[in-house]
Amino acid sequence: MLLYVDKKKLKRHKIKIICITLSWILIILANIICFKTALHHTSQTLTTYTTLQKKQDWYNNADIVTIFSEKQNKTIKAIIIPKQINRENVLTIALAFSNLPRRNTRLVFANDAPQKQLLQKLGTIFIQASADETPQNTIIITTDINNVISLINEYKLYPNILNHKQSAKLQSIPSIQQLLNQHFPPRAQPQTPQEQQLHAIQNFANTYHTDLQNLINTSPPTIKFTAQNLILQNLGVCISSADQTACSVEPDNSLQQNIRIALASLNAQIPQKLFLLTTLEEIPANTVLADNDGLFFRYGLKKTFILPQKKAQSSNNTNIYAYLKQQAGLNPDYQSPDMKFYKFKTTEININDNI
C-alpha cells in the first residue's frame, strides 16, 4: 500500500509553526523590555534616572517608609525610614508614627537615623509619654533593614509600605505644619528661569547632600535624576580649597565629569566646598549684578570667574569686570567683541560638615 505525502502542504505547515514560534519569542522579548523600562535603571557611572512621567511635585523628593509588624495583633516593632530627611519624607514618617499606640510606646533611634531631634519632636505629636508608666512597646527606627533583620525573623514580622501620597492629609494638622515650616521653610516661588533652576538645584542639593559629599571623596554614590530634574545632570561646578577655587562649566560634560575636572585643577589640595552653578547667562559688560550673582569671563581659551561670595567683597561692578580681564592676563581697559561675560547663581555645599 502506497502512502501519498503532500510535500507542499507539509512545508506550509512547518513554516506556520516557525512563524508562530517566532511570534511568541517576539512577544516575550517585548514584555521583558517593557518590564525593564518600567524599572529605575542604574547606570554604571554616576546617575540613576527614570523616564516615568510624574506630574506630582513631591515625586522627585519622596521616598517610602516601611512598617514591620506582627501578623496577628498588628503590633509594630520596627520602622525603616529614608536616609534623606526632607519635607516630603517627614510627612511619610509622620504617617508611620500615627499608626503607633499613643501610650506606653518608646521610640529607639538607631545610630544611622538622621536628624534624631526632629524625629523625636515628630514622635511627641503622636505619642504621649508619662513618667509614671513603663513603656511596653519599643519601636526601632532605622534606615537599614539589616539592623532589624534578627527582630523580623524572631517575630515573623510583615512589612507595610507607606508613601507620601497617603500622608497628604497630615499636612492640615497644625503641630505638624508648624514643625515642617520650622525645619523646611517654604520658599517664595522663583520668577526668572535662572531662579527656577536655582530652586531646583537647592532641592537637589538638600536631597543628595551626603551623596555629593561622598562623590568628592571618591566613594561610589548613586544619585537619581528623574524626568523632572534630568537637566541637572550637566550642572557646572566650582570646588574650593583653603586658598584656591577651580571650576568646570562645560555644558556637554556630566556633573561627574565637571567635578573630576575641577578636582584635578586643585592640584591635590584638600577640597572644602562644592558650588553647584546654574546655567551661564550671557550679559553685556558692566551690567549691574545682583548680590547672589557670580560672573564668568571667556575670551578665546582664556576663562576666569568670580563667585558671588567673593564678589560681595567689592561694591563696584565695573571693578569686577576689569578684575576678571586682568586675571586672564589682559589689560583691564582692553575691549573686544569676542569677549563674553556670563552671570550665574550658586548653591553651596560643605564637603566637610566640620568646616
pLDDT at 107: 93
Confidence of residue 82 (pLDDT cuts 50, 70, 90): very high
Whether residue 14 is predicted with pLDDT greater than 50 in this model: the reply is yes
Mean pLDDT across 16-44: 68
pLDDT digits (tens, 9 = 90+) for 318-336: 688 888 999 999 998 899 9
pLDDT at 262: 87
Give the residue from 96, 78, 246 showing the smallest Cα distance to 163. Answer: 96
Confidence of residue 7 (pLDDT cuts 50, 70, 90): low
Phi, psi (degrees; rounded to nearest 5) at 68: -110, 120
**Long-range contacts of 184-189, Cβ-Cβ distance < 8 Å, separation of 24 or more:** 184/86, 184/87, 184/90
How buried is residue 213: exposed, middle or buried, by Cβ count under 10 Å (0-12/13-18/19+)? middle
pLDDT at 341: 94
pLDDT digits (tens, 9 = 90+) for 207-229: 777 777 776 765 544 555 555 55
For 15-29, 94-108, 189-203, 330-344, which range has the lowest pLDDT when averaged over its residues? Answer: 189-203
Mean pLDDT across 303-311: 86
CA distance linking residue 57 with residue 88, whole number of Å: 10
For 246, residues 6+ apart whose C-beta sits below 8 A from its C-beta are 238, 239, 240, 261, 262, 263, 264, 265, 266
Supply the DSSP string of 38-107, one letter for each residue: HSPEE-SSSEEE-------TTTTT---EEEEE-TTT--EEEEE--SS--HHHHHHHHHHHTTS-SSSEEE
For residue 210, the SS3 value is helix
Give the residue, 319 or 41, on which the prediction is more confident.
319
Whether residue 43 is predicted with pLDDT greater than 50 in this model: the reply is no
CA distance linking residue 101 with residue 118, whole number of Å: 20
Q: Give this prediction's pTM.
A: 0.48
CA distance linking residue 194 with residue 176, whole number of Å: 32
Mean pLDDT across 15-25: 87
Q: Is 289 within 8 Å of 343 (Cβ atoms)?
A: yes
Give the residue, 13 or 238, on which the prediction is more confident.
238
pLDDT at 161: 92
What's the whole-number average pLDDT of the chain? 80
Give the residue from 96, 113, 114 showing the smallest Cα distance to 105. Answer: 96
CA distance linking residue 97 with residue 130, whole number of Å: 17
Mean pLDDT across 140-162: 93
| Percent of all residues in the chain with a pLDDT value above 70, rounded to a whole number | 80
pLDDT at 84: 87
Confidence of residue 55 (pLDDT cuts 50, 70, 90): very low
Confidence of residue 46 (pLDDT cuts 50, 70, 90): very low
Cell of 273: 566646598
For 48, residues 6+ apart whose C-beta sits below 8 A from its C-beta are 40, 41, 42, 222, 223, 224, 225
